[in-house]
């Protein structure tokens, strides 16, 4: 059964029956899917189309990932050509597209790295944790450095290890107890400073809290610090400018590896090729996914600086190699697609475009601030959060039902927006992360519909 682009109600019904009877969808309640019954059949640029012909402007680029936009048939041709030439061979040998992709990514990151290919952002982070631990065992044999310092409200993935690293309570509780090797510290979320302070008079209390924690744990037990440069999931929290350089200094002071999660921030999203490049830091480990292939095929990677790579370099009998394997890492078709995806980003200057369009989007959104329920508009490039509150003075968050009503209003009016997943406390931010090819006219539409949605929420609250 396949659906052509022209609406066919019978074919659509058949897909809905087949799906609801057989597919286990995560993250959404099946009853919601039963009500909405959206069957996505095609997409072009920033627009997805349902089986009944309804078009939606996808202001979330799927799941924060279709950076170059939908419908690039050129990438399908690249995949087909590669699969005819060589569909698959494992990491135990080299293949042409994976080598070329690694060289391309290394070049974007200064040329002093090696790249380990995996299949998802979770796997990239998990591999990073393991590489940090193995590195510490090999480089500091007398010590036992295994802990990861991480932040509350962060999200680093869905496996047990990455969930433990994450700091969103609600996503974790159903699986707890989780590993205790991930030590959480306060997040740099200035709109709701965990210390009740205000930047810059706060003197970066969040970094001081991180240092106190490292000292409390004992630096000789800590392997790394993981940070997402701009924390996406909590509602796009942009740190103060000194934050990441200060975190890097802590790593250098205590001999820890700096592990940066670029799964969402990477590949042009924030207006530079990588989020951390806004702050001039030099991470030891970088996790990349999503925009690496704009989700045309699944591929991700853990990038390690060459000083880390050297620890894994040895003779066949040394047993120093990265101690893990995965079947699909460096998949030739996925690598070929990712390489062409990155070339397109460069040819079309999509990172620069994200900076320009992001500024335009933020201007439009700030123009909505006459609505008293908009507490904050923040972001960088095309990674933007609009935090909704019941009262601007007290910053009391709107409820989960309120924010859902805004998301539903937008969808019912043809615009897909996201919401923060901060768990029990901070799920009150609308998130926007459109394809980097979004046009000014489409941005105007997002702003207009979101404005109507907030006005409608206001009527509910009145």
- Give burial (CB, 10 Å; 0-12/13-18/19+) of 393: exposed
Letters for 123-142 (x = contact with ligand PLP by CB under 6 A, - = none) are --x-----------------
| 289 binding ligand PLP? (CB under 6 A) | yes
Nearer Cβ to ligand PLP (334/447)? 334
Q: Give the Cα separation of 438 and 59 in Å (integer).
A: 9
Range 402-405 contact pairs with CB under 8 angstroms and sequence separation of 24 or more: 402/428, 402/457, 402/460, 402/461, 403/427, 403/428, 403/429, 403/430, 405/453, 405/456, 405/457, 405/460
Closest CB 451 distance from ligand PLP, rounded Å: 27
269 or 402: CB nearest ligand PLP: 269
User: Which strand (E) or helix (H) includes residue 297?
Assistant: none
**Smallest separation (angstroms) from ligand PLP to the CB of 263:** 4
120 is a site residue for ligand PLP (CB under 6 A): yes
Does the footprint of ligand PLP cover residue 264 (CB under 6 A)? yes
- Cα 131–chain centre separation: 21
Q: What kind and span of H or E run contains 431?
A: strand 429-432
Beta strands in 52-146 (DSSP E): 55-58, 113-118
Binds ligand PLP by CB under 6 A, chosen from 62, 69, 97, 121: 121
Query: Phi first, then psi: what are they for 383, rounded to 5°?
Result: -125, 105
Q: Which stretch binds ligand PLP (CB under 6 A): 13-21, 93-101, 228-236, 309-317?
A: 228-236
Minimum gap (Å) between residue 232 Cβ and ligand PLP: 5
Torsion of CA 405, 379, 117, 284, to 10 degrees: -140
Q: Is 62 in the site for ligand PLP (CB under 6 A)?
A: no
Q: Is 155 in the site for ligand PLP (CB under 6 A)?
A: yes
Q: Alpha-carbon distance 248 to 260, whole Å?
A: 10
Q: Is residue 278 at the binding interface for ligand PLP, with CB under 6 A as the rule?
A: no
Token match 């079947």: residue?
A: 327
Which of 234, 247, 257, 263 forms a contact with ligand PLP (CB under 6 A)?
A: 263
Kindly indicate which of the ranges 73-81, 210-218, 259-267, 340-348 contains the residues binding ligand PLP, using the contact rule CB under 6 A: 259-267
How many chain residues bind ligand PLP (CB under 6 A)?
15
Q: Show the tokens assigned to 280.
A: 């001039």
161 binds ligand PLP (CB under 6 A): no
Residue nearest ligand PLP, CB atom distance: 121
Does residue 158 touch ligand PLP according to CB under 6 A? yes
**Which residues 314-353 are close enough to bind ligand PLP by CB under 6 A?**
none
Which residues sit at the interface with ligand PLP, rule CB under 6 A?
120-122, 125, 155-158, 228, 232-233, 261, 263-264, 289
């Amino acid at each position: 059964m396949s659906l052509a682009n022209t609406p066919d109600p019978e074919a659509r019904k058949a897909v809905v029956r087949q799906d609801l009877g057989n597919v286990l969808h995560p993250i959404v309640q099946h009853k919601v899917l039963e009500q909405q019954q959206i069957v996505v059949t095609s997409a072009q640029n920033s627009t997805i189309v349902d089986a009944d012909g309804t078009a939606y402007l996808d202001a979330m680029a799927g799941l924060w990932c279709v950076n170059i936009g939908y419908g690039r048939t050129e990438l399908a041709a690249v995949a087909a050509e590669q699969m005819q030439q060589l569909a698959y061979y494992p990491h135990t040998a080299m293949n042409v597209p994976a080598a070329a992709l690694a060289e391309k990514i290394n070049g974007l990151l200064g040329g002093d790295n090696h790249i380990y290919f995996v299949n998802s952002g979770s796997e990239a982070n998990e591999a990073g944790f393991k590489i940090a631990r193995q590195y510490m065992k090999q480089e500091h044999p007398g010590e036992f450095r295994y802990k990861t310092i991480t932040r509350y409200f962060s999200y680093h993935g869905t496996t047990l290890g990455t969930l433990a690293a994450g700091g969103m309570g609600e996503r974790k509780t159903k699986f707890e107890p989780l590993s205790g090797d991930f030590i959480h510290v306060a997040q740099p979320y200035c709109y709701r400073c965990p210390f009740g302070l205000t930047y810059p008079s706060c003197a970066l209390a969040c970094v001081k809290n991180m240092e106190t924690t490292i000292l409390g744990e004992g630096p000789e037990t800590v392997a790394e610090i993981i940070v997402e440069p701009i924390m996406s999931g909590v509602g796009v929290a942009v740190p103060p400018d000194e934050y990441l350089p200060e975190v890097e200094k802590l790593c250098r002071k205590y001999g820890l590896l700096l592990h940066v999660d670029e799964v969402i921030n990477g590949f042009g999203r924030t207006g530079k090729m990588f989020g951390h490049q806004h702050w001039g830091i030099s991470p030891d480990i970088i996790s990349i996914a999503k925009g690496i292939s704009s989700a045309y095929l699944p591929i991700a990677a853990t990038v390690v600086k060459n000083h880390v790579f050297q620890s894994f370099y040895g003779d066949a009998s040394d047993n120093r190699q990265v101690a893990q394997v995965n079947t699909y890492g460096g998949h030739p078709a996925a690598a070929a697609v990712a390489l062409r995806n990155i070339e397109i980003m460069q040819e079309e200057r999509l990172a620069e475009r994200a900076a320009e369009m992001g500024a335009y989007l933020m201007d439009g959104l700030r123009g909505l601030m006459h609505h008293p329920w908009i507490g904050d508009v923040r972001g960088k490039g095309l990674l933007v959060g609009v935090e909704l509150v019941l009262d601007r003075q007290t910053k009391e968050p709107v409820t989960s039902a309120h924010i859902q009503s805004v998301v539903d209003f937008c969808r019912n009016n043809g615009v897909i927006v996201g919401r923060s997943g901060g768990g029990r406390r901070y799920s009150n931010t609308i998130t926007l992360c459109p394809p980097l090819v979004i046009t000014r006219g489409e941005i105007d539409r997002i702003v207009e519909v979101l404005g109507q949605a907030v006005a409608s929420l206001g009527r509910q609250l009145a």
